[in-house]
Amino acid sequence: MKKTVIGKINKSILSGGIGNSTNYLLSVIFLILICSPTDRVSGQDSRSDQIISSKAIAASDSSGTTESLAFAAESVRDTTVHIFKPKLLPDNMSFLERGLWGENGFVRTIGLESSLSPQVRKHELEIRRVMLTAHQIGGFTTLGLMLATCYYGQKIIDGGVDGRRNYESTKNALVASTMGTYSLTALLSVLSPPPLIRRDESSTITLHKTLAWVHVAGMIITPILGSLINTNRVFHMDKAHFHQVAGYLTTAAFATAMIVITF
């Protein structure tokens, strides 16, 4: 079709001559218009559309992949099993408690207790309850022996030579019994398993432990002062009074410690 039109234009140009510039110009413009690369432009547009479509598909695939990955990650988070490890020992354990009842403590190392677990810890708390109950009973027993020792000690001071002759043997037996029960009572508390939780706050237990330092010191000082009373078979009354005051103060501190923890 283009060849037919071009032939007609050529014939028109040849018949009209080169001088007919108007017809020649119009013919050239028409020729340019019909010979313009419309197919190539259309092809470029088509390729551009394909590129745009490809980008759109890629973007769609990328978005879909991102959403799929996000969904997969969320699924993983939802299905993750969180292992909860219960806290079986308190944070603020003493050096002795950690050495005896810690995760690698002495009682576990030698096989007296199994490895730390909730069941084992439950058994240890039962042991603690028994030991602290015995500690309380031993405390009242010791307090009774202390009071009896103070009574016969006062009898000796008041009676002088006769007092020593009549009551010294009884007092010495009471002193030995008091020291024995006192030591056993203290060990029941010190060697008991730690609690599950130990709060850092003031309470009657705090006062009880504070008073323990006082009567422990008294239990060390009082026998030392008592040993100084008799030197070369001579009874020193002035030293006896120091021993007496130390004994009364120790007994008072111990009695207060028992009262605050019981009532």
Per-domain boundaries in the chain: 2-79, 95-262
pLDDT tens digits for 52-80?
444 443 444 444 444 554 544 555 555 55
Please tell me what DSSP assigns to residue 230. E
Cβ–Cβ < 8 Å for 219, 250: yes
**What are the pLDDT tens digits along the chain (263 aa)?**
544 544 554 455 444 444 444 554 455 455 444 444 444 434 444 444 444 444 443 444 444 444 554 544 555 555 555 566 678 999 889 999 999 999 999 999 999 889 999 999 999 999 999 999 999 999 999 999 999 999 999 999 998 778 888 999 999 999 999 999 999 999 999 999 999 988 877 889 999 999 999 999 999 999 999 988 877 667 788 889 999 999 999 999 999 999 999 88
* Helix boundaries (H) for the chain: 2-16, 21-35, 38-79, 95-101, 106-109, 118-190, 204-227, 237-262
Query: 5: number of CA atoms within 13 Å, CB side?
Result: 11
Whole-angstrom Cα distance, residue 206 to residue 177? Answer: 28
pLDDT of residue 34: 47
pLDDT of residue 27: 54
pLDDT of residue 82: 55
Q: Pull the structure tokens for residue 236.
A: 């020193």
Distance in Å from the first CA to the final CA of the chain: 121
Angstrom distances, CA of residue 135 to CA of 93, 184, 222: 20, 8, 22
Q: Pull the structure tokens for residue 203.
A: 């309470």
Q: Pull the structure tokens for residue 97.
A: 């408690």
pLDDT of residue 154: 95
pLDDT tens digits for 42-52?
444 444 444 44
Cβ–Cβ < 8 Å for 107, 84: no
Amino acid at 216: V
182 contact partners, CB below 8 Å, separation of at least 6: 142, 219
Q: Which of 192, 197, 194 is nearest to 103 (CA)?
A: 194
pLDDT of residue 55: 45
Q: Pull the structure tokens for residue 198.
A: 């130990």
| Element of type H or E holding 231 | strand 230-231
pLDDT of residue 152: 96
Whole-angstrom Cα distance, residue 53 to residue 210? Answer: 84
Query: 70: number of CA atoms within 13 Å, CB side?
Result: 6
pTM greater than the 0.85 cutoff: no
Whole-angstrom Cα distance, residue 88 to residue 108? Answer: 15
Whole-angstrom Cα distance, residue 172 to residue 164? Answer: 11
Q: Which of 30, 51, 27, 47 is nearest to 39 (CA)?
A: 47
Whole-angstrom Cα distance, residue 228 to residue 15? Answer: 158
Cβ–Cβ < 8 Å for 163, 157: yes
